[in-house]
Structure 1
Amino acid sequence: MQRGLSAYLRLRGRTLGRQVLEVGWWRLALLLPLLLAAVARALTVLASHATAHWLVPLLVLLMLAGTHRRRPDVPFLALSAPYFRGWLAVEYTLLALPAALVLLGFRQAGTAGLTLLVAAAVGWMPPAQARAARHRQPAVFRSEALELVGGFRQTGAWFWWLGLLGAAAWGQRYPVVPALAIGGWVLVLAGCYGTPEPWPLLLPALRGPASWLGRRCALALAYYGLTAAPFVWLLGTGATGSGGAAVAALLGAVLVTMVVLARYAFYPNALLVRLTQGLVLAVAVLLTGHPVYPSLLLVAFFGLIWKSRRQLSRFRYD
């Protein structure tokens, strides 16, 4: 089993290396420093807080579970290796180890152990099951609301929504708790938009990329507005007030729009799409750290509009 684990980890490393080569070193040189800075800042802030450090295991579980349930190689591993669940547990534990070390640095040993425990448990989660195709008339809602129909089910988004809503209601007297719940929900929505859709589903966009992209952004904002409304209400009725709640809601709407734009700006490279989405969320985390980050977010917003329209126009036909 140990020899198989070593071979599996080497294979995962080579696969990641090939994906890095596809992305390009210059892009990584731009993306990785900001991503690492944002992750380090978020972990430091959470780990140093008296109660917010318990959010670290939840965030680790959220990110690893969303990635695990979308992995396409789980059926192959189930057929070829009977002990693959243990391999996945070791892999996810290694990925969560930096977060656990940061928590240990702030003397949060219990939270660090829980972080590693939930990371290992993700390896035994079942993958998302594809439902059998049914013969039915094409529906505008099902074709346009791809993420609501498929993404929410695969990521268990409604489970996370209920959990975040309960946490926001429980900690309403602390303004940071509903605000973090809004941020967590934006992360869940970003997970729904992390995987580019198959080529046939993109065909309706090719006759009018700009209008089609506008509909996708409007639909994503509708998802966000309907589902984030309870969080915004809890934040507005607390100590933050309606003004702070409106700012948090607006920032979340901007981030959701940029996540959708990033999905099509680098279509169909899934790794580059996720890195760009991570960069957008990283800049949002760093907004209060330096005056340059709001300007950088604004430039990235208009840059993603231009790049996504240009990328879809490459496949246009008349």
Structure 2
Amino acid sequence: MKKIALEEAFAVPGIEKLTPGSLSLREFTQKMPKLLDLGEERLQAMDENEVEISVLSTTCPGIQGIVDASQEQPLARQWNDYLAEAVARHPTRYRGFAALPMRDPEAAAEELTRAVKELGMVGAMINGYDNSGDNPPTYYDAPEYVDFWKTAAALDVPVYLHPRTAPAERITYAGFPEMRGAAWGFHVETGEHVLRMILSGLFDKVPSARLVIGHMGELLPYWAWRIDHRIAVEGWDQVAAETGRGRKHTVTEYLKRNITITTSGTFDTPGLVHAISVMGHERVLFSIDYPYEDAREACDWMDGVDLPYDVKEAIAYTNAKKFLKLA
């Protein structure tokens, strides 16, 4: 079954010097040769598993973890040019998600516009909160980011919010470093970030904004009922309205309206079935999370998952083709 994969990482040579925080991730150093490869080995893995197109993006923490915040904008531009050149070498096999300097919302909107209109990018990948220059984490529900989201909506491209390691000050992870990354902290951190966006009223201010999250929805499809239930029972909607955060819809409804999820790194059939039951299969896209995950394992799972063929085909290929407007 042919496939399109959306969360497929690469690294720019020397990235570990610019984002030393990445060295704390075991999988980063383990997979460095594959992250740097944008040619033969990656294409072979695609061919062997019927992946027709991979959408490439810079590995986390990417631009969001740059030590020198003043370098975010020029580096984002350089990395996007580098990716565009790689896509141009294999135009039928690769597409790109732009890296963005999110510390400056205006600069981020400008670079997204350039990347889409001049470089042919199909959207953007933001690697979670921004704490470049050791600044406190910045989240993108803040009012100063509304115009950025309006720019993405006007360009009609999705923004993929990828996880980052949970901030070091989270004392619940003290003594348990394995909890801060991909086993747990990645997903809690990203799920909370997206929930902030929803509860801030962002998707009422920009109703056509399109957000993508990976790993079968970063826990949100499984917890949406409980969130909506307790917000209603405890009367939080009234409090939110009184403080300027009124919303027109429930969290579950926003998941169905503005959020699309991918299967990246989560090859779990019961999880997929539940996500479909909450969001509909039209809002689920296939992804591998290559090279952090094994392409064969991901694709064998997708090929063999016990769902009607037309649903599998939509998740594996046709949903993404339409969503990204691929010819």
TM-score range, shorter chain: 0.3 to 0.5
With structure 2 as the length reference, what TM-score do the two structures score?
0.32
With structure 1 as the length reference, what TM-score do the two structures score?
0.32
Which structure features the higher share of helix residues?
A: 1
Higher alpha-carbon Rg: 1
